[in-house]
A and B are shown apart, each in its own frame.
Chain A
Amino acid sequence: MSVLPYLAAGWIFLIGVYGLVTSRNLIHAVGCLTVTQSSTYVLLVAIGYRRGGTAPVFSDLPPGARVVDPVVQALALTDIVVGATVTALLLALVVQLRKRHGTVDPDKLAELRG
């Protein structure tokens, strides 16, 4: 089935959002956001795949060899870097929230202050 990898990406996205919606712990929520984002890696790499293609690195390949799409791989790299740094920033926010309010449960935070 040729759409299965695309559908897998969609499934990972939805399962991540489900985790975000039902989360009772902000650290868990940040983890879910990372899962949600990883669906984009799957989608990007799936779109760039060429049947029988190898990595687009020509140090040991003849020019004109059958390779997968390097553009989406570069995009996935950008995606991973941005994802990792944003995760760090969000975790720092959670540390501060815990210090200020003494809880990391998003529902209890909403009760504390508007």
Chain B
Amino acid sequence: MSRPVRLWVFLVGAVLVAALYAWACFDLPSFGGDHHPYGDRAVRTALAQHTANAVSSVNFDQRAFDTLGEQTILFAAVLGTVVLLRQVRGERRTDPTPAPVADRVRWFGVLMLPVALVVGFYVVAHGPLSPGGGFQGGIVLATALHLLYIAADYRALERIRPVGLYEVGDAVGEAAYVVTGLAAVLAGSAFLANVVPHGTFNTLSSGGTVAVLNIAVGMEVACGIIVLLARFLDQAVEIEETAEETGAR
């Protein structure tokens, strides 16, 4: 299909979609309205389960099974990326050369690395209490580690980042989630039911399994993103095509 034809097909489709969508919008409950039947019930349940952060309660308690699916998508995507970005025939690894880093950047990295790590652990641990949780905290942890890449160089990052270990961590996080769910079954309840005592409202140990699942997810996300970024960085920094491969094209 040539470009002009494609654009026309799009325009016709877009006008139709826009018309139908706008029509549907006028029948939606009005913006900012008071009618939120699911939201009201979710908030009631969150408070009954002693989970201060209602969003975490929805994700890790009321819809914990759906989050298992979401986590599995993450796991599968990391696996797919690892397979796609492996070193293939006709490629070789070169040792990355250290690049000069400005002193201020180096100091910034050295100072911020521990701060960022603590913030990451804080966000994961306080998932049931305050905004945040395993997904958000995991991302903070994974990015914190890469401050070292900015502040020092790639070899320094590789020293504290044995990728194999993080691949195991990724799998352990995923497995911990499933095992927590199965533990509820063994306790005589449904899969992923919140059977642990709910604790005192608004303390670190409140929320029952919400806290446990948060840590499992935090571990999987942090390890998964580190593995993911490691594969992309490998492609950018280390893996090079050899001459014969370039000539074959």
Residues of chain A whose beta carbon lies under 8 Å from any beta carbon of chain B: 2-7, 10, 14, 17-18, 21-22, 46-51, 55-59, 63, 67-74, 77-78, 81-82, 85-86, 88-89, 91-93, 95-96, 99, 101-102, 107
Q: Find residues 29-45 in chain B having any chain A CB closer than 8 Å to their own CB.
A: 29-34, 36, 38-39, 42-43
User: Which chain A residue lies CB-closest to B66?
Assistant: A78
Once the chains bind, are B59 and A95 in contact (CB under 8 Å)? no
Tell me the dominant secondary structure on chain A's binding face.
helix
Contact with A along B1-24 (1 / 0, CB 8 A): 001001100100010011001100
Residue B210 CB within 8 A of the other chain: no
Residues of chain B whose beta carbon lies under 8 Å from any beta carbon of chain A: 3, 6-7, 10, 14, 17-18, 21-22, 25-26, 28-34, 36, 38-39, 42-43, 46-47, 52-55, 57-59, 63, 66-67, 70, 73-74, 77-78, 80-81, 84-85, 88, 129-131, 135, 202, 221, 224, 228, 231-232, 235, 241, 249
User: What's the Cα separation between A64 and B25 when bound, in Å?
Assistant: 29
Question: Given A10-B18, A47-B28, A99-B241, A88–B228 Cβ distance below 8 Å?
Answer: yes
Once the chains bind, are A88 and B66 in contact (CB under 8 Å)? no
Which of A2, A71, A77 makes the CB contact (< 8 A) with B42?
A: A71
User: What's the Cα separation between A77 and B57 when bound, in Å?
Assistant: 13
